[in-house]
Amino acid sequence: MFRALRVSQAADSPKPKVRVDLVDNFEDDALGGEDAGDVLVDVEYSSINFKDGLALTGRPGVIKAPNLIPGIDLVGTVTQPSGTWAVGDSVILNGFGIGETHHGGLGERARVKSEWLVRRPESISPARAAAIGTAGFTAMLSVLALERHGLTPDADKPVLVTGASGGVGSIAIALLAGLGHTVTASTGRAAEHDYLRGLGATAIIERAELGEEPGKPMQSQRWGAVIDSVGSTTLANALAQVHYGGVVAACGLAQGPDLRTTVMPFILRSVTLAGINSVQAPLALREDAWARLATDLDLDLLDSLTETASLGEATTVAERIMSGGVRGRTVIDVTR
């Protein structure tokens, strides 16, 4: 038997009604048979991302099963091998529907498909791999997208990072600054300015400057590139401010899924809008991203923006995330 969180949805309720329990007596059979996956993993760590915050606080749209172990990240050790994976291999899994349609990482055991797994880089400990998690993986995918479109450090064309105090934003700033880029952080939290400068941001703008109302479709050119985890009005205004030939990596929708803009930045300034999907990223891209995280991310800096909580504290952390009370990353030690 193993411990796990369980999110239950009442099927007969006129509105989505969600209950979250810490269950002590899950059995392996509850994870499904081999059709659910050919590898068993003893999970050591997970983390709390924005999606996990939604799931654990009863917001609709994330959990798509009546009963599910949540958690879109897991780091652990293979106990039932398959294919290229042997007993004792240390593995990472982000995405592929775990914690949404498939039992996820907020439990001590997981059954997953072998092709979903990535080998943990030796230089990144299991706890640090969980601290990176989907947020850091998404940040790295965003940086790679900017680089594919020709971004190089240019002090006159800073990179804007929106949602800067969150997990994606925090790690994106650390990565970009470490690679020599000049970074401007956008945040609505005045108390986090010193924190963001500590990550490497050289300038900070208030969230309201971009996010209150859509501005003109073409505005003054300010940014060489943008990593945006906010969407909606913020993304529309950021697009209107990108320099000629610049690129915007869109990886989130914390403000909303709408995008009220025009084609003008794309056809008059040759701006590229690159979508980032961490859930279904192919294996080669996943391996590339994790290899770059192992070399490009300051792990001591990662430690400084990370806190650790127990499995039983995950719901409390989720509530804090949804109320804007968490910065950086929160690792869940599922063995506690």
Report in angstroms the alpha-carbon separations of 85 from 30, 77, 90, 118, 219.
22, 10, 9, 10, 52
Lateral strand order in the sheet of 159-161:
203-206, 183-187, 159-161, 223-228, 242-250, 272-275
Give the Cβ contact number of residue 333 at 10 Å.
16
Predicted local confidence at residue 15, as pLDDT: 61
Rounded to an integer, what distance in angstroms lies between the CA atom of residue 51 and that of residue 19?
16
Stretch among 62-71, 107-116, 216-225, 271-280 having the lowest mean pLDDT: 62-71
Give the Cβ contact number of residue 316 at 10 Å.
13
Query: Do residues 203 and 184 touch, judged by C-beta distance below 8 A?
Result: yes
Predicted local confidence at residue 11, as pLDDT: 63
Predicted local confidence at residue 83, as pLDDT: 83
pLDDT digits (tens, 9 = 90+) for 259-300: 999 999 999 999 999 999 999 999 999 999 999 999 999 999
Predicted local confidence at residue 88, as pLDDT: 97
**Whether pLDDT at 13 is above 90:** no
Classify residue 190 by its DSSP letter: G
**Whether pLDDT at 152 is above 90:** yes
Domains of the chain: 2-120+305-333 (3.90.180.10), 135-275 (3.40.50.720)
pLDDT digits (tens, 9 = 90+) for 118-147: 999 999 999 999 999 999 999 999 999 999
Rg (CA), the chain: 20
